[in-house]
Amino acid sequence: MSEYDPRRDAFDSFNVAIAANRAKLLADRCPAAKRVEVIGQCELYLGDCMEILPALGKVDAVVTDPPYEIAAAGGGMGAKRKYLADIDGKIDAGFDLALLSAFDNWFVFCGKPQLVKLISQAEGQGLRWQIVTWNKTNPTPLTNGNYLPDTEYVIHAFKTHVWAAKSRFIVGPVEKNDFAHPTVKPQYVMAQSLRRCSSGGQSVLDPFMGTASTGVACVKSGRSFVGIEISEAYFDIACKRIRDAYRQGDMFATPAPAAPKAEQIGLDLGSGDQ
């Protein structure tokens, strides 16, 4: 156990008081938020992002894993995912793409039914776009007469790609985790996502934060973070994860798989720009 350090204690108390003050200021500015927490460089809002977003300022990037459109009824994978019945449409009902209109750099995970809509949204905003994929190396071996469920898509809409990571694919396993949420993204996926659409020191918004996988990756990589979550249970997990991330310093909980060296060849539905 480390020795008690009164200066450290005073410094920590000071920071807690500043954060509480800032959270109060933000809550006053955003009455739609049921709770606001400020932890280090992160602002976390409990509530509906559609109501909270108008009260927030500008950010450098939106990085989010919103509710996918998944059929919980009927056959196929959707029917097998029993948890969908428990979550009241908060994870499987899609989302209102209009919220993206205020941003010119967004990196949005999606399922196949949302691909075309997100591409239309990007084109409607006059942005360039690219399909990025997360290729899972350990997919559920259920094919149901179809391809393996080994790919998740991202539409990245942007003006100019000035960021460090240029590859269109992220490769690695689905990971187990201890968080009571059905769709937690692995840290390596979020870390590699951030590098494709933002730089260190910039601000990132996740309006569908869940357990704050995006936020934790921001803390670990020196970005500031704004997260919104509608479920209080997930919001509490998010707050704890962000606090733990600051406590752990800059060590990743799980090492990221090596980034792929080759650029994907083929699948480019864009207007000819690579």
Ligand X SMILES: C[S@@+](CC[C@H](N)C(=O)[O-])C[C@H]1O[C@@H](n2cnc3c(N)ncnc32)[C@H](O)[C@@H]1O
Q: Closer to ligand X by CB, 183 or 199: give it.
A: 183
| Burial (Cβ within 10 Å: 0-12, 13-18, ≥19) of residue 74 | exposed
Cβ of residue 194: shortest distance to ligand X, in angstroms? 13
Task: Kindly give, in sequence order, each residue whose CB lies less than 8 Å from that of residue 179, ignoring residues fewer than 6 positions away.
Answer: 211, 237, 241
Q: Is there a contact between 252 and 187 (Cβ–Cβ < 8 Å)? A: yes
Residue in 50, 102, 115, 259 binding ligand X, rule: CB under 6 A:
50
Q: Closer to ligand X by CB, 32 or 79: give it.
A: 32
Q: Closer to ligand X by CB, 96 or 273: give it.
A: 96
Nearest residue to ligand X by CB is 210
Which span sits near ligand X by CB under 6 A: 44-52, 75-83, 197-205, 249-257? 44-52
How many residues can be counted in the chain?
274
Which span sits near ligand X by CB under 6 A: 18-26, 73-81, 176-184, 252-260? 176-184
Residue in 65, 100, 122, 195 binding ligand X, rule: CB under 6 A:
65
Residue in 26, 36, 42, 91 binding ligand X, rule: CB under 6 A:
91
Residue in 38, 49, 56, 204 binding ligand X, rule: CB under 6 A:
49
Cα dihedral 144/147/152/157 (nearest 10)? -130
d(CA 99, CA 230): 15
Task: Give the three-state DSSP class for 178.
Answer: coil
Helix then strand then coil, % of the chain, to nearest 5: 35, 20, 45
Q: Is there a contact between 102 and 79 (Cβ–Cβ < 8 Å)? A: no
Instruction: State the number of binding residues for ligand X (CB under 6 A).
Output: 22
Residues in 181-240 that interact with ligand X by CB under 6 A: 181, 183-185, 207-208, 210-211, 213, 228-231, 234
Q: Is there a contact between 65 and 111 (Cβ–Cβ < 8 Å)? A: no
Binding positions for ligand X, rule: CB under 6 A:
48-50, 65-67, 90-91, 181, 183-185, 207-208, 210-211, 213, 228-231, 234
